[in-house]
């Protein structure tokens, strides 16, 4: 068994101390012996002292096997010779035996005893006249001392070896306990094993399927990186075995250190004696045993950390999915999150036709694995030929159902997928919920938009009805005013009252059937005829209105009621905005395809900037015109009618106080018929 340099040094110091003690004792004996022997004994002591110091500080002398014990015994024998026997010189032999024992172990102690007995006998022979040869007790005492010393030295040596081992063991353990990762534990263990005496090298075998061994971490001598072993050797790997059973050309040990994953430690040993081998094997077993529990703790911690990370990834994926606002966003986040949780790639696939909705997996193989299977499931790609070909036969796929005939599939490390299936399901559930929510939101939004559109058109219809009502009220006012005038003159012109009532009825009928009425349905009118009737109605109100018309009839493509409305509105305005009694002229002109009608007055006129706007609904000119009652509707109604019948209306005025001319054109009835 090896000794460390420090242990050797301590031992050498002990030798020197014992020798110095021997010299001190020898010196005392010399002094007690009396003058006769002193000079010789003193000489022996000085020589022994010089020799002891030389041996201590001149290592080559220590290495020569017999120099030191021979020196010790020679010195002691010289002293015993020089001193009187009665002083117990055998004590000096005891020192010699002790020193020899320290140097050469129990065997040295026994050998030194034998030499001491021989030396003692030699002294007896040399000093025959003083000694009795039959006096054997010192010899017996020397033998007893030798045997006891040998026993003590053996015990001390044993303890020393044990201490050495436990020191190595403690150092290795403290190195091992500092490691957190399984890989680090294995590396430290292998390095510590390789440092042991008689160990050529150490390594870790990862045991794969089909009796396949992979050398992972190694220090010193090691087998090849990849190895396929016999079935017998594979069996031997499951228990501590002789290395020779696994790799015949190497000697040493193999000790399983972990079952999940399956790892075995291999240690190659020097060719050593069986005893030493047993001691070394014991130490290796102890170290591997301790490392095994540290390794399983490290694996457990790594697993827990990975589980924690997966949980965090799941939570992150779910919160990302929940923050998505579109279906496409939800699907993309789901695929990304599932990939992270599974430690691989993911995709959303429609098994019915193998289309990939989103993700970077091939749709066909995934569809093949997912079809007709109860989900969720973890499936080996080897279960389907297409999948085995596309993903590799040793790939594994986790499949969970999503919604709308789609599945979420993830490819990752097989052991991880089974552990993470529940987490993948959580991701899929979050995606399903979010998708349902988004679909519901979209439907609600659509409904709201349609409702908004309905409300808008309803509002439009309501406004149109309101406009029609306002128009009706305005239009009813003109004939009513006339009726009022006629009523006062009833006795004179009942027929005119009749005419106005007819106009009222027509208007009411028009208003009631406003939706059905379209321009072109009416019988055409003769402009001059109608103008004369309107002038007659105006005259009732006391106005002076004249007509200027061509000799030939001007037949316009417009209904009688509408034309009467136009004329009544324009003549009524001319009356309203002119001083009482001021003459008004209605002029009719015939042009190529149109007829033009103008109402000319000499009233308050119009500022130029208002000419374009007075046809707007509810538009009224402030100032003088405000003195006249009105709602700003008459001209807008005229414009609507003229425009509806394909004509144009406009106003002209030389300025305020200088009269106005309101003109409109309408297509001629014949021309309209031909176009």
CA distance 144 to 150: 10
Binding part of the chain for ligand ADP, among 143-151, 190-198, 376-384, 614-622 by CB under 6 A, reads 614-622
Closest distance between ligand ADP and the C-beta of residue 441, in Å?
50
Q: Bin 646: left if φ > 0, else alpha if -120 < ψ < 50, else beta.
A: left
Sole binder of ligand ADP in the list 632, 640, 643, 650 (CB under 6 A) = 632
Is 137 or 618 the residue whose CB approaches ligand ADP more closely? 618
Q: Is the bond into 376 cis (omega within 30 degrees of 0)?
A: yes
**Nearest distance in Å: CB 576, ligand ADP:** 6
Judged by CB, which is closer to ligand ADP: 79, or 621? 621
Q: What are phi and psi of 14, to 5 degrees?
A: -60, -40
Nearest to residue 256, comparing CAs of 213, 288, 224, 282? 288
Minimal distance, residue 612 CB to ligand ADP, in Å? 12
- Catalogue the long-range contacts made by 386-391 (C-beta closer than 8 Å, 24 or more residues apart): 389/365, 390/362, 390/364, 390/365, 391/361, 391/362, 391/365
Rounded distance between C-alpha atoms, residue 98 and residue 167, angstroms:
27
Answer yes or no whether residue 354 interacts with ligand ADP by CB under 6 A: no
Nearer to ligand ADP, 418 or 631 (CB): 631
d(CA 537, CA 499): 9
- Among the residue ranges 206-214, 352-360, 572-580, 585-593, the one whose residues contact ligand ADP (CB under 6 A): 572-580
Which CB, 11 or 620, lies closer to ligand ADP? 620
Can you tell me which of 421, 601, 639, 647 binds ligand ADP, judged by CB under 6 A? 601
Q: Who contacts 124 (Cβ-Cβ below 8 Å, separation ≥6)?
A: 131, 133
CA dist., res. 314 & res. 336, Å (int): 11
625 binds ligand ADP (CB under 6 A): yes
* 104-112, 482-490, 541-549, 570-578 -> range binding ligand ADP (CB under 6 A): 570-578
Shortest separation between residue 530's beta carbon and ligand ADP, angstroms:
19
Picking from 251, 245, 249, the residue whose alpha carbon sits closest to that of residue 231 is 245
| Among 229-237, 548-556, 571-579, 639-647, the segment contacting ligand ADP (CB under 6 A) | 571-579
Residue 439: count of CB within 10 angstroms of its CB: 13
Which is nearer to ligand ADP, 104 or 625 (by Cβ)? 625
Q: Quote the crossing angle between the two packed helices 634-644 and 560-576, to the nearest 10°.
A: 150
Transcribe 18-33 into DSSP letters: HHHHHHHHHHHHHHHH
Residue whose CB is nearest to ligand ADP in the complex, by number: 630
Q: Which of 606, 641, 668, 672 binds ligand ADP (CB under 6 A)?
A: 606
Report, in Å, the least distance between residue 526 CB and ligand ADP: 25
Write down the H helix ranges in 89-136.
Answer: 90-126
- The 3-state DSSP composition of the chain as helix, strand, coil percent (nearest 5) reads 60, 15, 25
Nearer to ligand ADP, 408 or 574 (CB): 574
Q: What is the DSSP string of 165-195?
A: HHHHHHHHHHHHHT--SHHHHHHHHHHHHHH
CA distances for 71 relative to 10, 80, 104, 107, 332, angstroms: 21, 14, 14, 17, 91
- Check binding of 631 to ligand ADP (CB under 6 A): yes
The nearer residue to ligand ADP, 113 or 661, going by C-beta atoms, is: 661
Cβ distance to ligand ADP smaller for residue 441 or 539: 539
Contact in structure between 652 and 598 (CB atoms under 8 Å): no
Question: What is the nearest approach in angstroms of ligand ADP to the Cβ of residue 593?
Answer: 28
Interaction of residue 324 with ligand ADP, rule CB under 6 A: no
C-beta separation of 406 from 363 below 8 A: no
CB of 497 to ligand ADP, least distance (A): 24
If binding means CB under 6 A, how many residues of this protein chain bind ligand ADP? Answer: 19
Task: Provide the terminal-to-terminal Cα distance of the chain, rounded to the nearest Å.
Answer: 128
CA distance 121 to 322: 104
By CB under 6 A, is residue 608 in contact with ligand ADP? no
User: How near is the Cβ of 525 to ligand ADP at its closest, in Å?
Assistant: 22
Which residue number, 573 or 598, has a Cβ lying nearer to ligand ADP? Answer: 573
Min. distance of Cβ 535 from ligand ADP in angstroms? 16
Give the integer Cα–Cα distance in Å for 584 and 537: 14
Q: What are phi and psi of 606, to 5 degrees?
A: -135, 130
Residues with Cβ within 8 Å of 65's Cβ and at least 6 positions away in sequence, in order, are none
Site residues (CB under 6 A) for ligand ADP, limited to 645-664: 660
Would you call the peptide bond into 640 cis, given omega within 30 degrees of 0 as the criterion? no
Pair 534, 562: CB distance under 8 Å: no
Strand-pair partners of 594: 667
For 11-78, the DSSP string reads HHHHHHHHHHHHHHHHHHHHHHH-HHHHHHHHHHHHHHHHHHHHHHH-HHHHHSTTHHHHHHHHHHHH
Query: Of 505, 504, 507, 510, which is closest to residue 483 (Cα–Cα)?
Result: 504
Q: Which of 577, 595, 598, 641 binds ligand ADP (CB under 6 A)?
A: 577
In whole angstroms, the minimum distance from the beta carbon of 580 to ligand ADP comes to 14
**Is 479 near ligand ADP (CB under 6 A)?**
no
Contact 263, 254 (CB under 8 A): no
Identify the residue among 52, 236, 410, 614 touching ligand ADP (CB under 6 A): 614
Of 277 and 620, the one with the shorter C-beta distance to ligand ADP is 620
In the complex, least distance from residue 575 CB atom to ligand ADP, rounded to whole angstroms: 8
User: Can you tell me which of 264, 573, 598, 665 binds ligand ADP, judged by CB under 6 A?
Assistant: 573
Q: Determine, following the binding rule CB under 6 A, whether residue 634 of this chain makes contact with ligand ADP.
A: yes
Among 635, 641, 669, 672, binds ligand ADP (CB under 6 A): 635
Nearer to ligand ADP, 474 or 596 (CB): 474
The span of 204-212, 318-326, 442-450, 627-635 binding ligand ADP (CB under 6 A) equals 627-635
Neighbouring residues of 491: CB distance < 8 A, sequence distance ≥ 6: none
- Is residue 597 involved in binding ligand ADP (CB under 6 A)? no
Instruction: Annotate each residue in 442-461 with x if it binds ligand ADP (CB under 6 A) or - if it does not, as one string.
Output: --------------------
Kindly report the three-state secondary structure assignment for every residue of 581-625.
CCCEEEEEEECCCEEEEEEECCCCCCCHHHCCCCCCCCCCCCHHH
Per-residue x/- marks for ligand ADP, 243-272, CB under 6 A? Answer: ------------------------------
User: Which of the ranges 103-111, 236-244, 504-512, 598-606 carries the binding residues for ligand ADP, by CB under 6 A?
Assistant: 598-606
Which of 23, 633 has the CB closer to ligand ADP?
633
Q: Which of 574, 586, 597, 600 binds ligand ADP (CB under 6 A)?
A: 574
Give the binding range for ligand ADP (CB under 6 A) out of 297-305, 330-338, 446-454, 626-634. 626-634
Angle, CA 517 vertex, CA 515 and CA 521 arms, to 5°: 165
- The answer to the question of residue 621 lying near ligand ADP (CB under 6 A) is yes
Q: Which of 356, 604, 641, 649 binds ligand ADP (CB under 6 A)?
A: 604
454/466 with CB nearer ligand ADP: 466
Residues at the site binding ligand ADP, with contacts judged by CB under 6 A: 573-574, 577, 601, 603-604, 606, 614, 620-621, 625, 630-636, 660
């Amino acid at each position: 068994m090896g000794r460390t340099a420090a242990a050797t040094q301590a031992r050498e110091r002990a030798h020197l101390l014992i020798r110095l003690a021997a010299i001190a004792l020898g010196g005392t004996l010399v002094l007690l012996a009396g003058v006769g022997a002193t000079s010789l004994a003193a000489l022996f002591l000085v020589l022994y002292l010089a020799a002891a110091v030389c041996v201590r500080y001149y290592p080559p002398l220590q290495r020569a096997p017999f120099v030191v014990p021979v020196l010790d015994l020679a010195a002691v024998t010289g002293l015993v010779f020089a001193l009187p026997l009665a002083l117990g010189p055998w004590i000096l032999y005891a020192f010699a035996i002790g020193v020899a024992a320290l140097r050469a172990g129990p065997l040295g102690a026994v050998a030194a005893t034998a030499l001491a007995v021989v030396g003692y006998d030699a002294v007896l022979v040399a000093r025959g006249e003083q000694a009795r040869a039959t006096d054997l007790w010192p010899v017996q005492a020397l033998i007893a001392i030798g045997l006891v010393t040998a026993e003590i030295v053996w015990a001390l040596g044993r303890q020393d070896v044990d201490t050495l081992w436990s020191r190595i063991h403690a150092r290795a353990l403290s190195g091992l306990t500092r490691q957190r990762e399984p890989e680090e534990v294995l590396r430290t263990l292998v390095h510590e094993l390789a440092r042991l005496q008689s160990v050529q090298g150490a390594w870790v075998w990862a045991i794969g399927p089909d009796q396949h061994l992979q050398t992972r971490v190694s220090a010193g001598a090691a087998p090849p990186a990849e190895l396929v072993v016999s079935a017998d050797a594979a069996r031997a790997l499951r228990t501590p075995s002789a290395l020779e059973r696994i790799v015949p050309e190497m000697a040493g040990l193999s000790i399983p250190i972990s079952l999940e994953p399956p790892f075995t430690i291999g240690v190659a040993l020097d060719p050593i004696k069986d005893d030493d081998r047993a001691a070394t094997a014991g130490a290796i077993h102890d170290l591997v045993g301790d490392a095994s529990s540290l390794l399983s703790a490290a694996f457990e911690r790594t697993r827990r950390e990975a589980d924690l990370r997966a949980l965090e990834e799941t939570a992150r994926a779910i919160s990302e999915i929940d923050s998505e606002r579109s279906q496409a966003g939800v699907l993309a986040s789901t695929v990304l999150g599932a990939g992270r949780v599974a430690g691989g790639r993911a995709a959303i696939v429609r098994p019915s036709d193998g289309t990939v909705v989103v993700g970077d997996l091939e749709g066909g193989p995934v569809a093949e694995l997912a079809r007709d299977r109860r989900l969720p499931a973890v499936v080996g790609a080897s279960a389907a030929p297409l999948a085995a070909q596309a993903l590799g036969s040793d790939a594994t796929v986790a499949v969970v159902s999503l919604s709308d005939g789609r599945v979420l599939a993830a490819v990752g490390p097989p052991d991880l997928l089974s552990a993470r299936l529940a987490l993948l399901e959580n991701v899929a559930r979050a995606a399903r919920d979010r998708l349902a929510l988004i679909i519901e939101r979209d439907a609600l939004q659509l409904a709201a938009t349609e409702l908004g559109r309905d409300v808008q058109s309803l509002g439009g219809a309501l406004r149109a009805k309101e406009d029609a009502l306002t128009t009706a009220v305005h239009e009813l006012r003109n004939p009513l005013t006339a009726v009022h005038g006629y009523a006062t003159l009833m006795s004179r012109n009942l027929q005119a009252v009749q005419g106005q009532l007819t106009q009222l009825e027509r208007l009411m009928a028009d208003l009631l059937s406003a939706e059905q009425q379209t321009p072109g349905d009416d019988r055409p009118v003769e402009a001059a005829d109608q103008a004369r009737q309107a002038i007659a109605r105006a005259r009732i109100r006391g106005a002076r209105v004249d007509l200027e018309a061509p000799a030939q009839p001007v037949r316009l493509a417009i209904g009688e009621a509408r034309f009467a409305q136009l004329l009544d509105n324009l003549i009524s305005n001319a009356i309203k905005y002119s001083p009482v009694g001021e003459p008004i002229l209605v002029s009719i002109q015939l042009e190529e395809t149109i007829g033009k009608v103008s109402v000319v007055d000499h009233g308050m006129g119009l500022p130029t900037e208002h000419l374009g706007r007075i046809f707007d609904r509810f538009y009224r000119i402030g100032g003088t015109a405000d003195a006249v009652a009105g709602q700003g509707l008459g001209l807008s109604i005229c414009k609507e009618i003229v425009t509806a019948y394909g004509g144009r209306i406009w106003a002209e005025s030389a300025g305020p106080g200088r009269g106005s001319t309101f003109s409109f054109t309408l297509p001629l009835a014949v021309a309209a018929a031909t176009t």
